[in-house]
Structure 1
Amino acid sequence: MGSEDVLKGASALASYNVVLQVAFRLLTFFLNAFTLRFVSKELIGVVNVRLMLLYSTLVFLSREAFRRACLSGGGEQANWRQNINLLWLTFPLGCAWAVLLVGVWAFVLQAPDPQAIPNYLPAVCLFCWAALQELLAEPLWVLAHTHMLVQLKVIAESLAMVAKCIVTMVMVVFSPVWGLYIFAAAQCVYSGFLVLCYIVYFTRFLGSAEADKKGFPLQNITETLPRRTHGESVFNWKLARLTWSFFKQSFLKQILTEGERYVMTFLNVLNFGEQGVYDIINNLGSMVARFLFLPIEESFYVFFTKVLERGRSVHQQKREEVAMAADVLECLLKLVLVIGLIIAVFGQAYAQLALDIYGGDLLSSGAGPSLLRFYSSYVLLLAVNGVTECFTFALMSNEEVDRYNFVMLGMSVCFLLLSYWLTGLFGGVGFILANCCNMLLRIAHSTAFMHRYFSSSEYVPLSGLRPHPALLLSLGLSYSLTALSESVFCCDGGWLLRLVHIAVGGACLLGVMATVFVTETRLVNFIRSQLLPRYSKKRT
């Protein structure tokens, strides 16, 4: 697969992933708004913080290292049998993690009041079972991602999420007394649908004319099961060593990713009700990061690993591929910077209104608006970090990955200490401030790597982090106008004044977008040619 084909595939994958994540976040958005009317914020805190932390920890620690390693080496068709054998280790590893984590969640952590929130232990076991179900699809997920089967992920995850939402809404309305069982059953349905969709797709796809046309390395669904080939070792030991390097790093990355939930869960700095409110604000604030930035990061990680060779300097790569990678990296940095700045600016004046519409006084009173305002600024750092780490992790050598583990260890310790200290001072806002400090350190490390990598060449992709002065001016004017509008029209004067406030924000946003269109022509051309699905289809 040539570099242009890889770029087209990564662009299409990012586009479809963005659409998918938008749909997911909207479904989750409305689902949370719906369930808030039927269940307590304490129950939401237990599910969304305690139990979903269990789920994400088990899944992430079991598969993340294998994903990153096998995506780096997945282009070698001769090694697919060994790669699949390696990927199947995720399930027994997940079983081992499940035993350990169930013990911690059930017998070490403080359990919720059984009178207010019953059935905690069965819910812990069911969430672990759902996570183990999802791990069964891991070899198929890597196969699909490596060969740019972009529609599969969209279909599978869409069906799974719709099924989860239907189960949750029906059970919340008709059997609210089931409490935690509702959310545990919905999570099991989600992971089960996900696995089923992948199995059905590959059963029909493998051996078909389309698979032969793509040069797919497997012919039958049974070939995705682990087996030993005569004359070959069971695993690709080079990838196994890389997996081990990523595995050591995955502990620290998980702490950095879910750090505030670990602090809330293990140190009890917030009660379950406060955790529920914080989690709702966190989900709202991170919506754009999840449905836009994360798909871009995942898709272009594949692009960079295929176009550039891991561990080699810029002069050891093909010149035309370095030029393409530098150009794409610069445009991606500019894209996420612009989006992050817009969210940071407009989030200040519209945080309280958004929470009032979404959850009423439960969210718009108290610390909710302050949490969302701070989170809007944090999204800017999330955006930049996603792309910088995407490139850095795709190009690091095994030795550099190992060294970075020590860096992440220091970051993890600092983050946990900062979270505990700042939360004691500022409550939930302290978590966001600690995350900001952590993200700044990670960005500094990644940009330093990128600067060293391109320093001996004529390419300067980090210039993508310099916004045009006209854009900064338009953002500054928008901030002033929307802040004035909030003080005059929002949020106690009725819907008519609120609509005026929204109209002011819409006009300012149009002005900012017009400024981007005029001043960032290179970025506009990149979006038009690479990221919009209809243009990507034309190019193919």
Structure 2
Amino acid sequence: MANKAQRPVPPIAPASSTTAPAAPAAPSAVRGASLLIALQIASRAATFIANQLLLRFLTAQLLGVATQLEVYYLSVLFFARESLRVAIQRQGGRETKDEEGKDGKKKSSSSSSQSAVNLAYVSILLGVLVALLLGQLYLTSINTTDADNDSDSDDAHPPFLVPSLYLYAIASAVELLSEPAFVVLQLRLQFGARAAAESVATVLRCATTLGAAVLSTRLANASATGTGLDIGVLPFALGQLAYGVGLLAVYTWFGTALARRDGFSLLPKRLTTNSNNNNGNNYNSDDYALQLFDRPTLHLASSMSVQSIVKHVLTQGDTFLVSIFSTTTTQGVYALANNYGGLAARLLFQPIEESSRSYFSRLLADDDASKKGEKGNKGAKGSKDEKNDNAPASRAAHDLQTLLKLYLLFSLVATAVGPAAAAPFLGLVTGPRWAASGAAATLAAYVWYIPLLAINGVAEAFVASVATQAQVYHQSVWMGGFSAVFAAAGYICLRVLDGGAIGLVAANGINMACRIVWCLVFIQRYFAARGVSFFGDAASSLMPHPLSVLAAVVTSAAVRRLVPAVSAVAGPVAQMTQLAKIGILAVPFLLTV
């Protein structure tokens, strides 16, 4: 039963060493990941269909500018909420255990929910400031471009670019307004609410973007000159605004119902000190800034913010490099290949990464505290107690090994048949104009980058779940070094070797390999400190079976030899025939794996 007076949330502190950590139920995490994967497949399918229709109305230049605006939008959201989201999830994992009484029954969680809501408003404030700052920087850059180029050049910006930028800024603010409800629903593992919100928002975005593009084209064709209403990238901005409105409406609906039921508010509310708590704990008001924000969580978020900035620069670094070293037309070609190449990452890897981050945070929330307690009572503990204390770490190691093994098997399949299927696939879905532009070769190269993207995602999710503030800072320093390596590799591949978009994929691969090595070293040391061997004897079990590797090599060679490449301008029948041949050759390989 909820307390009548709200009590403040306890600070992140070590739990008693005599209390065994309560691990989260694995089936709930698996169901959550499965639901998010199904959601991503459905929403991405709708987005994919809408994008194919949009490509009939777009030029490469418009797609390149739209990509720049999307990077602006994602940057605002990332800088405003990423580090706070991770910190709140880790706070939630610890507080879930603190709220359980000696009888095993969960106490009221209204205080922890209110604390999370209050922290979410920090994201809103940061989002407004970042949107203004980045927006001004972008306006300065396009004004400089206009001064350096003629209005008829390929780099001249399309019409309605500045109004579109304003709409993207408003859309980011609208989406951030849903953050208080989102963080509470995420802490309660309410994946159904997230599925509903993202589904509704995706449908609204697709319908608005496509409808605006089709309407403007028809009005332009109906005008006297045929160019009477060229609205440029405005359909993308309107679609993004519709997406934010959809998220805000659905999250507010579910969040309001949850707040009414559990006795907290979706508006910021002071957390009062109560010395007569049901669990007997007395909290100090000094643990809260302005009696609103949990100080340990704010400190953790601030420590992660530097890492988040570096991580975002590395994640979006390809777009930054392309914008510096190429025209908007080239950016559009790369963006097309990147969108299709990253489809698997958005459909499968992203929901698994988010779910595993939440899962490992809860599973290992008390691990460090238990380890400290074990050192303090080393002489009094027996081998059975030590085994129990290592149970969460052993379980986490096993689950992480399973994820990596599945990713490596997926990598075999992707690299064996993906490069050969890139050209006919792109020619079939986008038409000969895009396939002949160089996007097909870039997509084929991108297939080799997908396995690195997958492994890095789950490895960094684990690091974010368990790393201390000092370790986060240490990782940020290394990430800064990797960003320098990435910049150097990008310059060599793009300017010195003139590798174009393919060279950019190679630079990304070098950067991602560095990040993977760092994460694997951290993971090995983390489990070794807890008496669990992560690699060791299990290293061989992580690798695919030699017969699977041999089947992948044979399949790749057979596809290149038996399926001749068709022209990029070939008709859809030839493209479908080639894809069918590749699929037939892939069946024995899949059965072998």
Please tell me the residue identity of whatever aligns with 2:137: V
Please tell me the residue identity of whatever aligns with 2:491: Y
Distance 1:26-1:462 versus aligned 2 partners, 3 A rule: farther
Matched, 1:473 2:553: no
Q: CA deviation at 1:100?
A: 0.8
Q: CA deviation at 1:463?
A: 4.7
Distance 1:494-1:427 versus aligned 2 partners, 3 A rule: closer
Residues in 1 aligned to 2:122 and 2:79: alpha-carbon distance in whole angstroms:
12
Which residue of structure 1 lines up, in the alignment, with residue 591 of structure 2? 514
- Deviation sequence 1:483-539 (CA, Å, 0-9, x none): 1233277777765654443333223332233223xxxxxxxxxxxxxxxxxxxxxxx
Distance 1:515-1:310 versus aligned 2 partners, 3 A rule: farther
| Contact 2:490/2:507 (<8 A) preserved | yes
| Contact 1:127/1:188 (<8 A) preserved | yes
Please tell me the residue identity of whatever aligns with 1:255: V
Matched, 1:101 2:134: yes
Residues in 1 aligned to 2:413 and 2:318: alpha-carbon distance in whole angstroms:
25
Q: CA deviation at 1:246?
A: 0.8
Matches within 5 A, 1:365-380: 365-380=436-451
- Residue 268 of structure 2 aligns to a residue in which SS? coil
Residues in 2 aligned to 1:464 and 1:447: alpha-carbon distance in whole angstroms:
16
Please tell me the residue identity of whatever aligns with 2:519: S
Which one of the candidate residues 307, 332, 337 is aligned to 1:281? 337
Distance 1:55-1:493 versus aligned 2 partners, 3 A rule: closer
Residues in 2 aligned to 1:257 and 1:441: alpha-carbon distance in whole angstroms:
13
| Contact 2:367/2:392 (<8 A) preserved | no
Which residue of structure 2 lines up, in the alignment, with residue 249 of structure 1? 307
Which residue of structure 1 lines up, in the alignment, with residue 207 of structure 2? 166
Which residue of structure 2 lines up, in the alignment, with residue 535 of structure 1? none
Taking structure 2 as the reference length, the TM-score comes to 0.80
Residues in 2 aligned to 1:488 and 1:278: alpha-carbon distance in whole angstroms:
21
Matched, 1:291 2:309: no
RMSD: 2.3
Residues in 1 aligned to 2:56 and 2:573: alpha-carbon distance in whole angstroms:
25
Matched, 1:387 2:458: yes
Which sits farther off after the overlay, 485-494 or 197-206?
A: 485-494
Matched, 1:230 2:307: no
Distance 1:489-1:370 versus aligned 2 partners, 3 A rule: closer
Residues in 2 aligned to 1:52 and 1:203: alpha-carbon distance in whole angstroms:
30
Matches within 5 A, 1:333-372: 333-372=404-443
Distance 1:277-1:458 versus aligned 2 partners, 3 A rule: closer
Which residue of structure 2 lines up, in the alignment, with residue 129 of structure 1? 170
Matched, 1:55 2:73: yes
Which residue of structure 1 lines up, in the alignment, with residue 500 of structure 2? 427
Give aligned-pair identity as a percent.
29
Please tell me the residue identity of whatever aligns with 1:191: G
Please tell me the residue identity of whatever aligns with 1:475: A
Residues in 2 aligned to 1:358 and 1:493: alpha-carbon distance in whole angstroms:
13
Residues in 2 aligned to 1:124 and 1:464: alpha-carbon distance in whole angstroms:
50
Which residue of structure 1 lines up, in the alignment, with residue 25 of structure 2? 6
- Residue 48 of structure 2 aligns to a residue in which SS? helix
Distance 1:197-1:333 versus aligned 2 partners, 3 A rule: same
Residues in 2 aligned to 1:262 and 1:247: alpha-carbon distance in whole angstroms:
20
Which one of the candidate residues 207, 219, 223 is aligned to 2:263? 219
- Residue 179 of structure 1 aligns to a residue in which SS? coil
Residues in 2 aligned to 1:362 and 1:29: alpha-carbon distance in whole angstroms:
18
Distance 1:488-1:368 versus aligned 2 partners, 3 A rule: closer
Please tell me the residue identity of whatever aligns with 2:69: L
Please tell me the residue identity of whatever aligns with 1:85: N
Which sits farther off after the overlay, 177-186 or 271-280?
A: 177-186
- Deviation sequence 1:351-394 (CA, Å, 0-9, x none): 11011101122221142222011100000111111111111221
Matches within 5 A, 1:7-156: 7-48=26-67, 50-75=68-93, 76=95, 77=109, 78-109=111-142, 110-111=144-145, 113=151, 117-156=158-197
- Deviation sequence 1:289-320 (CA, Å, 0-9, x none): 11101110110111101011377399668322
- Residue 228 of structure 1 aligns to a residue in which SS? coil
Q: CA deviation at 1:453?
A: 2.1
- Larger gyration radius, structure 1 or structure 2: 2
| Contact 2:435/2:569 (<8 A) preserved | no
Higher percent of residues as helix: 1
Residues in 1 aligned to 2:483 and 2:461: alpha-carbon distance in whole angstroms:
19
Which one of the candidate residues 572, 575, 580 is aligned to 1:503? 580
| Contact 1:337/1:383 (<8 A) preserved | no
Please tell me the residue identity of whatever aligns with 2:233: L
What residue ranges of structure 1 are gaps of 5+ in the alignment?
209-217, 517-540
| Contact 1:61/1:247 (<8 A) preserved | yes
Matched, 1:260 2:310: no
Distance 1:95-1:494 versus aligned 2 partners, 3 A rule: closer
Which one of the candidate residues 532, 556, 564 is aligned to 1:457? 532
Distance 1:412-1:103 versus aligned 2 partners, 3 A rule: same
Q: CA deviation at 1:205?
A: 3.7
User: How many residues are aligned here?
Assistant: 502
- Deviation sequence 1:440-475 (CA, Å, 0-9, x none): 000000111112223342454655541111111111
Which one of the candidate residues 399, 406, 425 is aligned to 2:470? 399
| Contact 1:260/1:431 (<8 A) preserved | yes
Residues in 2 aligned to 1:459 and 1:106: alpha-carbon distance in whole angstroms:
49
Large movers: runs of 4+ above 6 Å? 488-493
- Residue 555 of structure 2 aligns to a residue in which SS? helix
Matched, 1:272 2:313: no
Matched, 1:300 2:300: no
Please tell me the residue identity of whatever aligns with 1:148: L
Distance 1:239-1:310 versus aligned 2 partners, 3 A rule: farther
Taking structure 1 as the reference length, the TM-score comes to 0.88
Distance 1:310-1:298 versus aligned 2 partners, 3 A rule: farther
Which sits farther off after the overlay, 459-468 or 18-27?
A: 459-468
| Contact 1:381/1:440 (<8 A) preserved | yes
Residues in 1 aligned to 2:209 and 2:570: alpha-carbon distance in whole angstroms:
35
Residues in 1 aligned to 2:121 and 2:87: alpha-carbon distance in whole angstroms:
13
Which residue of structure 1 lines up, in the alignment, with residue 400 of structure 2? 329
| Contact 2:433/2:569 (<8 A) preserved | no
